[in-house]
Structure 1
Amino acid sequence: MYKVIIVDDEAVVRVGLKNTIDWNEHGFQLIGDYANGREAWEAVEQHKPELVISDISMPFMDGLELAGLISAQYPYIKLIILTGFDEFEYAQQAIRLKVSDFILKPITAKEIRVLLDRVRSEMDEETKRREDLGRLNNQLNQSLPLLKERFLERLVATGLQRAEINERFAYFGLPPISPLYLVLVADIDDFGDRELLSYEHDVEFLRFAAFDIFKETLEKDDVLLFRTREERMVAIVSGQESESLLYEKVFSLAEQVRYHIEKYLKFTVTIGIGRSCDHIEQLPLSYKSALSVLDYRFLLGKNRVLSILDMEGKSSSPLQLDLDWDRKLVSAVKTGSVQDAFQLIENGVAELKMILAPIEGCFLQMQKVVLSLMNPIQELFQNVEESIEWQHKLMDVYKFKTLDEVEMWLKEVVRSVISAIADNRSHLTSMQIHRAVEYIETNYANDKMSLQDLCRHVLMSTSYFSLVFKQHTGETFIEYLTGVRIAKAKELLHNTTLKFYEIAEQVGYQDPNYFSILFKKQTGTTPKDYREKQLKESGA
């Protein structure tokens, strides 16, 4: 029989549930009903029921707050939430609190009975599983390899006291190890040409294959091996009295691992070798130094064996990069100079490598560059979605494992931004020239029209406008304006009986003689001859 309590500030609901349900028939003992969450919480702490049925909206403490307390302190208690609020956010919060059911009022007695039967069935099944000691023992045996890995990970990551270490070594049947101790860490760089990343089981197979080579090469009586939660491969090597002999042995083993994985699996690993230590309790120092030296992959590249002894004497200098590096790069991007931008990127990366900058310093510099590139991108893309898409693309800088990869990625980003800026400028210029043409064709009759007026209208400098207008139309401003005016004059000569001086005035020329000269220059005939010719052709 499972204990249950009801929590609802509506007395009619509590009375209805108490009197219409035969709780014992469904395998529950109703031990109390409460009008608010505060009273219910006191009952939960005192009686530890297996099931709580609660409303959401109540005084003093609502149902979700009660559910939060129960979920945090008594996660084995099942919760059923009853509510009149058909709100998605309530359902979401209930799911986060691991509520068994989230049910909308009103609910019938029949629905409650069905719900109770289902919950009891689930609880019976859980009880059965927990009481099946044989099955639990079998599960324990299956879990021992994983438990052993987690113990070894704790041993190197946080450190343990000698008594617990001895107890756990005996429990897991681990061979005793003796000083000196040293930790090496191997991390897969990537899967090279084995492009199987879209299939998780293939990735896991490759990781398993790498660890198998790792074990084959390193598994001796004095080496303990495991994989971390981050999928790194770790070895605790011991048993050498001389530090130099220990490092010589470890470096040889690490180089064999690196070579065999590259040869047989066709992808690479980088291996970091930490400091040696005299006591097993000091293994975290060795482990942390191995992880630290592994970070130098970012500067030195992949597929290497790196030792803390090689790196600790090469303490990095303070960053001495050009303080205006990011500003100069943005300037090159805005001016469209791919060559200058690439040269700046190469110089910056070379400087970071030369001074052996720590990985944090490298990413700080890249972060400055990324933030600086945000400005031209935001100026370029007025569309918010496009701008956000580019910003997300720039955040990819943090996914790379080496500075060489960052350099290649940054060059590609810069090339794309410069190309997009050029396309955008070309589009904008085309729009401005289109507006200029419209302006000319609308205002050609204004004899005072000037290049300055037109440039003010389209918001361009006269020199730049003159350049791009000729590129787009094949004519200068004056040539194009004259062409428009003469074309309009031809229409008037053909379709009206206006005098020549009137036509000249309507197409923007106050001087009829000057109009005649331009007309003949453009058409090869005078206005008079042109009209007569058109009349003859019309009469024919």
Structure 2
Amino acid sequence: MMIKIFLVEDEIAIRKGIKNSIDWEKEGYEFVGEAGDGELAYPMILKMKPDILITDIKMPFMDGLQLSKLVRKELPATKILILSGYDEFEYAKEAIKLQVAEYLLKPISSAKLLDVLAQVKEVIRQEQEEKELIKKYREDMKENRELEKERFLNQIITQNLSLAQILETGESLGMDLSAPLYNILLLKITENGGKQETYAEIESALDTLSGVFSFRRGVDEWLFLLTADDAEKMERRIESCRKTVRQITEKTDPPVEYFGALGNPVERLREIKNSLKEAEKKFAFQYLKKWNQILEIPVRDVGSSENPQTEKNENEELLISSVQVDKLNHKIIENFIHTGLRREVSNFVDDYFMSLGEKSVQSLMFRQYVAMDFYLAAVAFLERLGFSSKELVERCGDLKEMEQVIQTIEQTKEYIKKVLDATLECRESVSRKRYSDLLKEAVSYIEHHYEEEDISLNQVAASVNISPSHFSTIFSKEMGETFIEYLTNVRMERAKQLLRSSTMKTAEIAYAVGYKDAHYFSYLFKKVQKCTPREFRTQV
């Protein structure tokens, strides 16, 4: 590691003496520049970005202390050595304030200077090593960060944090959430062979847009929190998101489809939940409308533009011949039962009825037809899962009782919501059983391969035949910790056993539990156990 040196000294003889009396390259340094005063030196220092600045304290135009203040502000990592012919307390006190690495009195020999430089070089090496360890740790814990963001979003929505706490937590996660205007964008993409790459590309591209912050919701869905200074800038932000998503999805082969929905703009963070509620209403139209669009119009207009409403007395029964039966689509119902979420049930049913048209749903006969369509689709699905139709009868009653619960439009909607919720609950119970078996396999794989340095979430996900993003979501939800947290804990428990019951060196133990870098192992161990491996071994 070559350390860059810059020298500032107004006395030419001293400057040349220091520069020429040391074989810098041989000693592991790169002499990158020199100047006779601080004014000349400062722009050169900003350009060269030296690791160590050696400067005289008394110089014309700009002295060493003034220069040090400027350098400390712009290049805080640069170490400063001050040379002075004055052994005065005031100078030394000011140098301490500036966190100067060394305050050296002139004249100074080459040997003495090299000794001091070697000490400073070691400090720089340790700081750089620490930075690399922290960088690697953050990369390893990226999955944890996504979980922290998910929890943070829930706290914003449920209003469990004060405004000050929201802003502070957001800042710790790299989000500046202080803004006059907010909005929510929900986004989902379809399955295909290149989905994982597209998913990552979309997330990365939107994350780089100013004022756009991403949160994952499940396996293939995002929530983006948009911030802006005013309505015009919010519109530009939305258009940037729309354009970015369209460009990425269109270039994939085969093309990936997307569906998005926007909430209403709000002025306060505590009103974000209202924006989300509106976005979720529109988002439920993913089961009813064409994809490759981001819905922005108000929910009350989404269905009405295609289904003109006719004023009609609510008590007047309609002839079935006047009803828009062609609006019924059994595939929409089947699709929701297969892929919908329980939190989407209410909005889906409301949107489905809106799409049928007000005139149609006023008919009792038509509502009975619709309710029966949902009921029979649910029974068929549950039977394919291995359930008896009795499951649905116990929760929602049988067909004979249907007429009693569809007397009004609202009753019909509530009945269908009950049928769907019961069906999806049964579907989830099957998934939990499958996930339980899957996680047992994954845990077993980790137990048998934790000592391999290259073990990864992708590798473990492949061993149980599901996508990495799906595996990550399932693992964190069911295990209560992320994959990397679980793997790290398994490795640390084994390391503790070896520290207590073997004579192996720390580096050997690191290698035995999956870390080729012993420094990184020690860093992680201290992070998790609050003590070094050596301290742990000596504990009684």
In the superposition, the TM-score normalised over structure 2's length comes to 0.34
Structure number with larger C-alpha Rg: 1
TM-score by length of 1: 0.34
